[in-house]
């Protein structure tokens, strides 16, 4: 009983600690949080709308989304980590277009890759079947149609 109340106490403390850290982080890294929050919006949308079995759509969108964000984010971190700089980046239409464009490309990739893979796999098995059938035909030519009987006679 005592152990249970102890672990519950730890959980609440962790959550409180987490919220405190986020608050401190928000206060300390506000420009970063602002930039990431705005720039990574397509990834958040992808996470919500993806209903596929593998649920990897957010990863596909997020990867390219983040790749396009990385130069701006590093510029924020390594040059001036200020709210003005963050809003300047967000306010730059070309930067934002590139970040959202990359996310859109990620979604496009997510939509088209299965089709390409499917077509490839289809092509491979058809070819194999053709090869096997050709081998069977050679056997029939050499041994006659009797070779194709499957009843053991």
Partner 1 sequence: MARERQTRAADAGGAAATAAPAAPAGSGPAVTLRDRFAIFPQNRLPDLDTPNATAFVAEDKRQRGRSMFALIVTGGLPPRIQVMKHLKGLRSPGLMALVEWGPVDWTPDGAVRLALVYEQPLGGRVMTRMADTIDPITDQQFVKTILRPLAVALGELNNHGVTHRAIRPTNLFFADAAGTRIVLGDCATSPPAIDQPVVSEPIESGMCLPEGRGPGSPADDFYALGVSTVMLLIGRDPVAGVGDADLIRRKLHHGTYATLVSDQRVPLNMIEVLRGLLADDTDQRWDFEQLDLWFNGRRMSPVQARPMRRAQRAFVFLNQEFLTPRNLAHAMATHWDKAAPVVLEGKLEIWLRRGLEDNQLADQVAMAIRNATFGGDRSRRGTNDMALANVLIALDPQAPIRYREFRAHLDGFGSVLSAFVARGQDTRLVTEVILKEVPKMWLGARDHFSPEYVQLDGTFKELRDFLLDGANRGAGLERCLYEMNESQHCLSPLFAKDLVMDIREVLPALDRLGARMDAKTNPLDRHVVAFIAARFPKDIDPQLAALNESDPKRSTLGMLSLLAVLQWRLGPEAVYGLCSWVGGLMAPIINSYQSRERRRGLEREIPKLVRKGSLPELYNYVDNADERKADFDDFQRARAEWAMAQQQIRNLETGQAGVDENAERTGQRVAATGSVGIAIVTVAIVLMGYMF
Provide the binding-site residues for partner 1, judged by CB under 8 A. Answer: 52-54, 56-57, 59-64, 66-68, 70-71, 74, 78, 106, 109-110, 112-122, 125, 128-129, 132-133, 135-136, 139-144, 146-150
Q: Which residue from 94, 106, 11 is spatially nearest to 58, judged by alpha carbons? A: 106
Nearest-approach distance from CB 69 to partner 1, in angstroms: 9
Report the residue number, 37 or 131, with the smaller CB distance to partner 1.
131
Please give the Cα distance from 38 to 33 (Å, whole number).
8
Say if residues 90 and 96 touch (Cβ distance below 8 Å).
Answer: yes
State in angstroms the smallest separation of the CB of 129 from partner 1: 5
Closest approach of partner 1 to the CB of residue 83, in Å: 21
Tokens of 53: 């079995």
User: H-helix or E-strand containing 88?
Assistant: helix 83-91
Give the number of C-alpha atoms closer than 13 A to the C-alpha of residue 89, restricted to the C-beta side: 28
Nearer to partner 1, 26 or 119 (CB): 119
In the complex, what is the shortest distance from the CB of residue 26 to partner 1, in angstroms, rounded to a whole number? 23
């Amino acid at each position: 009983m005592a152990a249970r109340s102890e672990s519950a106490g730890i959980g609440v403390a962790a959550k409180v600690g987490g919220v405190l850290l986020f608050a401190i982080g928000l206060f300390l890294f506000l420009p970063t949080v602002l930039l990431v929050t705005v720039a990574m919006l397509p990834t958040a949308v992808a996470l919500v709308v993806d209903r596929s079995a593998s649920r990897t759509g957010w990863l596909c969108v997020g990867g390219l989304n983040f790749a396009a964000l990385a130069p701006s984010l590093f510029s924020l971190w390594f040059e001036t980590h200020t709210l003005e700089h963050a809003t300047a980046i967000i306010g730059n239409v070309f930067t934002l277009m590139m970040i959202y464009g990359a996310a859109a490309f990620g979604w496009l990739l997510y939509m088209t890759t299965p089709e390409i893979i499917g077509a490839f796999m289809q092509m491979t098995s058809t070819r194999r079947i053709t090869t096997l059938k050709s081998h069977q035909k050679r056997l029939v030519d050499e041994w006659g149609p009797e070779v194709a009987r499957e009843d053991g006679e």
